[in-house]
């Protein structure tokens, strides 16, 4: 009886234990799920995932070989430039260097999207997967796109399909220079760019509101002042079609201070030094020769050194004209001395003969006897009577001789008669005389040089003011 009861209870206990184990297992699983439930991410609410799916969808089937609106509309590309630094400018190569942020904006209907953000910032990797304008610089000799530490490019995508593409460039561009007014010259250095392959009917360029901006303190110019800039737009026609060309002119004014110190002042001082010789005696041949030859050689050296910093142009610049006139003044001073010296030597020869004749006359005068009518002779202003022995057979020389006795004749000393001295011939020209040519040159040369300087500087200063006024109006 007891064995039967035990056998009857055992199945019930086993069933109860199984139920308890199942309940415990279910409760443990429910607690684990409750503990780790918040860490599970809903992919449908993550921005990164959303835009990854958007970009994948946009680029799926996108052909970057075709421009937006192909066959229907003209692609409008809006551009502007932000200049971070300008310069230096090379006169010998006629080029300049400019560092810019070059910005382009266009609309691509194939890149429209709907998402939680209206503007999607992207990096340069996407730029190689979409269509971008084939912009190039017409007058660029060399352009560098900066790649440190990564390519300096910016790409932004707006939800309506508008793209903003910016890159940092350093451009070496040509700057045609007309140096007739050097060093008071003003130049307009252009920066020209446009599409290389697309004509005006396919891609059209326009300036945005900002157009061109120059950063404060961005000028890296030592010899120039950046006066301003002007933008324009032109259509150029070639054998392959009509293309749009965007142009920016940067107006530069050369600083004249360096050239005043290095060229103009030395030339002026050399001319003044050459005119000092007019105040020296014409007999000072070595001194005046040194002045003339030295100043001519100095002007030759200055004219050669002034051309070293310029390209070898075939026309004369404003500085060349100034140096040429200064050279003419210096050379004229040397020729003036040669003329004065020539006539001075001829005057010495004429005056020398007169001087010798006067000296010979003085030597003969003391021993010359002036004969009188009463047998007396005048020696240097004193009259003496002479006793001459009468020889037989000779006629009486004078009636006064018969009255004399045989005794020795006494010398009669008459009173002195004042002597009339003859003045030696005066020399009209002396060795220390000043030439009339020198007297005229002392006035004519400085006056002409002063007039030349007034006309020269007034002409170019007025021209510079007129150019600045035109630039300000533009």
Cα Rg of the chain (Å, integer): 56
Residue (of 88, 93, 96) closest to 311 by Cα position: 93
Confidence at residue 219, expressed as pLDDT on a 0 to 100 scale: 81
Q: Average pLDDT of the chain?
A: 79
Length of the chain: 474
The residues, ordered by sequence, that sit 6+ positions from 305 with a Cβ below 8 Å of its Cβ are 262, 263
3-state class (DSSP) for residue 211: strand
Cβ proximity of 103 and 132 under 8 Å: no
Report the candidate in 450, 467, 473 with the shortest Cα–Cα distance to residue 225: 467
DSSP conformation letters of 293-307: HHHHHHHHHHHHHHT
pLDDT tens string 19-68: 666 655 655 555 544 444 344 444 456 778 888 888 899 999 999 999 99
pLDDT at 153: 93
Which of 167-180 are b and which e, b meaning 16 or more Cβ less than 10 Å from the residue's Cβ?
Answer: bbbebbbbbebebe
Q: Model pTM greater than 0.75?
A: no
The H or E element spanning position 203 is strand 203-214
pLDDT in tens, 360-411: 666 665 544 444 445 554 444 445 454 544 455 444 444 444 444 444 444 4
Residue 354, phi-psi category: left (phi > 0), alpha (psi -120 to 50), beta (remainder)? alpha
Query: Among 199-208, 274-283, 451-460, which is the least confidently predicted range?
Result: 274-283
Q: What percent of the chain has pLDDT over 90?
A: 48
CA distance 143 to 139: 10
Say if residues 323 and 263 touch (Cβ distance below 8 Å): yes
Tens digit of each residue's pLDDT (9 = 90 or more) over 76-89: 999 999 999 998 99
Looking at residue 71, its pLDDT comes to 83
């Amino acid at each position: 009886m007891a064995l039967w009861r035990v056998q009857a209870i055992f199945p019930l206990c086993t069933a109860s234990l199984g139920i308890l184990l199942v309940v415990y297992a279910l409760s443990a699983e429910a607690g684990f799920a409750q503990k780790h439930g918040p860490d599970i991410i809903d992919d449908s609410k993550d921005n990164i995932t959303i835009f990854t799916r958007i970009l994948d969808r946009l680029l799926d089937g996108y052909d970057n070989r075709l421009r937006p609106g192909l066959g229907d509309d003209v692609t409008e590309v809006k551009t502007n430039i932000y200049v971070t630094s300008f310069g230096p400018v090379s006169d010998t190569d006629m080029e300049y260097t400019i560092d810019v942020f070059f910005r382009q904006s266009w609309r691509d209907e194939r890149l429209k999207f709907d998402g939680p953000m209206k503007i999607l910032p992207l990096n340069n990797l996407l730029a190689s997967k979409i269509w971008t304008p084939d912009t190039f610089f017409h007058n660029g000799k060399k352009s560098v796109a900066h790649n440190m530490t990564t390519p300096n490019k910016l790409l932004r995508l707006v939800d309506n399909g508008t793209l903003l593409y910016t890159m940092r460039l350093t451009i070496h561009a040509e700057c045609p220079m007309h140096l007739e007014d050097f060093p008071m010259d003003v130049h307009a250095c252009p920066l020209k760019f446009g599409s290389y392959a697309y004509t005006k009917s396919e891609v059209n360029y326009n300036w945005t509101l900002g157009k061109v901006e120059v950063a404060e303190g961005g000028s890296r110019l030592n010899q120039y002042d950046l006066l301003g800039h002007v933008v324009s737009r032109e259509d150029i026609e070639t054998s392959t079609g009509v293309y749009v060309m965007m142009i920016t002119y940067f107006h530069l004014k050369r600083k004249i201070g360096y050239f005043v110190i290095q060229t103009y002042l030395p030339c002026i001082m050399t001319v003044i030094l050459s005119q000092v010789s007019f105040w020296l005696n014409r007999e000072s041949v070595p001194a005046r020769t040194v002045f003339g030859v030295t100043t001519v050689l100095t002007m030759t050296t200055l004219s050669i050194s002034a051309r070293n910093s310029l390209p070898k142009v075939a026309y004369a610049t404003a500085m060349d004209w100034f140096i040429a006139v200064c050279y003419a003044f210096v050379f004229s001073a040397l020729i003036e001395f040669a003329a004065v010296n020539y006539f001075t030597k001829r005057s010495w020869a004429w005056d020398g003969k007169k001087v010798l004749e006067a000296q010979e006359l003085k030597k003969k005068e003391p021993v010359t006897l002036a004969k009188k009518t009463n047998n007396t002779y005048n020696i240097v202003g004193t009259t003496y009577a002479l006793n001459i022995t009468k020889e037989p057979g000779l006629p009486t020389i004078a009636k006064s001789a018969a009255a004399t006795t045989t005794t020795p004749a006494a010398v009669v000393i008459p009173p002195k008669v004042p002597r009339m001295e003859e003045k030696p011939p005066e020399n009209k020209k002396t060795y220390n005389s000043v030439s009339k040519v020198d007297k005229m040159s002392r006035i004519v040369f400085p006056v002409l040089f002063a007039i030349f300087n007034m006309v020269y500087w007034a002409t170019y200063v007025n021209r510079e003011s007129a150019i600045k006024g035109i630039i300000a109006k533009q």
